[in-house]
């Protein structure tokens, strides 16, 4: 893998570094020889197992802290003295946000405000050279743009139209990040990315859920009629983009990362079943696809997300290194080799997002 951070030892603070995308960034940064501070509250979605391979490295530090605790975050930045802050700490499960929106407002909005304020306090005290080098990379989602119809792509100038408590909280965080650049000059760069997949993803997410149910030979749930479409990007390709943002992104601007790999949910599930059929035959015979079952749709389920990553491709010389087919093959193989990752207590993986909305879709 190419080293994408600027030459020399870079000091990077990563909030949410025990989560899915954050841990991939942490592992990569440590492997590339940089000093990494991982700040994570360790909620249900964070796991130290995801960073266990780097935990004993001298270049790695961990701080258990809540991003809402501005004083703790400010102290951490002052003590560690980062060249870049990658802000990934967030509540991210849409169904969970429907049932428990307050947690999303707290972490994604109040927490982002606290991290921005701590970063501003730290950055304002740096000398001229370090101030010029410093970056704050705010990591967000394509869901802030709402839902597309059959045509069109999200671009950096697409209007914000969030439809879930999760996406609304991330949209608010994006606006805060932009305001801290425009008002205070903090060198913020905002990234919005399509659906990620790969190793160490929390088992409540779509791909791990499909694999868990298939390997148990239980019904594989597909929301609604399965026609909802998403663009998919391997988490390590996303990490490449985030590192390029620090190296070459322009403060005050936003960049979209996507895999140019759009697929309907049902087709994705069928693809995963075919891969499983090849990699581990179903014990009872037949195809895992026979287990697919349609269930009540998510309330307010966005129909389609699709990203135009042209700006990132042109300005950052970035592009995904994995096709969706190759990435899914590798991902399924990883989960088969790490079966314990898919297991959580049944209560943690129960269907969410229907109770408050009465199970109605729109």
* Strands in 84-228 per DSSP E: 84-87, 135-141, 188-193, 195-197, 220-223
The pLDDT value given to residue 2: 47
In degrees, rounded to 5, the angle at the alpha carbon of residue 40 between the alpha carbons of residues 185 and 195 is 80
Give the chain's domains with CATH numbers.
11-196+233-262+305-322 (3.40.50.720)
Please say whether the beta carbons of 258 and 309 come within 8 A. yes
Share of the chain above pLDDT 90, in %: 84
Active site residues: 142-143, 166
Averaged pLDDT, 290-319: 90
pLDDT digits (tens, 9 = 90+) for 38-76: 999 999 889 999 999 999 999 999 999 999 999 999 999
Q: How confident is the model at residue 92 (pLDDT cuts 50, 70, 90)?
A: confident
Q: Return d(Cα 328, Cα 208) in angstroms, integer.
A: 11
Q: Say what the pTM is.
A: 0.92
Q: Return d(Cα 334, Cα 217) in angstroms, integer.
A: 19
In the predicted structure, residue 345 carries a pLDDT above the cut 80:
no
Residue 304: DSSP 8-state: B
């Amino acid at each position: 893998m190419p080293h994408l951070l600027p030459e020399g030892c870079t000091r990077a603070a990563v909030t949410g570094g025990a989560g899915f995308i954050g841990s991939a960034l942490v592992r990569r940064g440590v492997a590339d020889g940089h000093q990494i501070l991982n700040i994570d509250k360790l909620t249900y979605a964070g796991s130290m197992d995801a960073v266990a391979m780097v935990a004993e490295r001298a270049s790695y530090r961990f701080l258990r802290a809540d991003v809402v605790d501005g004083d703790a975050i400010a102290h951490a930045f002052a003590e560690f003295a980062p060249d870049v802050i990658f802000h990934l700490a967030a509540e991210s499960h849409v169904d969970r946000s429907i049932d428990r929106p307050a947690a999303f407002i707290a972490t994604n909005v109040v927490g982002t405000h606290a991290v921005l304020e701590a970063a501003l306090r730290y950055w304002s005290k740096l000398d001229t050279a370090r101030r010029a080098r410093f970056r704050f990379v705010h990591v967000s989602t394509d869901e802030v743009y709402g839902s597309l119809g059959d045509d069109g792509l999200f671009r950096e100038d697409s209007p914000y139209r969030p439809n879930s408590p999760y996406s609304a909280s991330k949209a608010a965080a994006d606006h805060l990040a932009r305001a801290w650049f425009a008002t205070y000059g903090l060198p913020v760069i905002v990234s919005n990315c399509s659906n990620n997949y790969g190793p160490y993803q929390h088992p409540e997410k779509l791909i791990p859920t499909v694999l868990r149910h298939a390997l148990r030979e239980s019904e594989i749930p597909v929301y609604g009629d399965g026609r909802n479409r998403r663009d998919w990007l391997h988490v390590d390709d996303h990490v490449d983009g985030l590192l390029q943002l620090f190296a070459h992104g322009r403060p005050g601007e936003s960049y979209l990362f996507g895999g140019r790999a759009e697929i309907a949910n049902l087709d994705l599930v069928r693809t995963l079943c075919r891969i499983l059929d090849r990699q581990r035959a179903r014990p009872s015979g037949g195809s895992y696809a026979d287990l697919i079952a349609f269930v009540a749709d998510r309330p307010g389920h966005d129909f389609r997300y699709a990203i135009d990553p042209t700006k990132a491709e042109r300005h950052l010389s970035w592009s995904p290194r994995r096709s969706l087919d190759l990435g899914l093959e590798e991902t399924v193989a990883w989960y088969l080799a790490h079966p314990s990752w898919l297991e959580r207590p049944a209560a943690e993986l129960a269907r969410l997002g229907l109770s408050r909305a009465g199970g109605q879709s729109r």
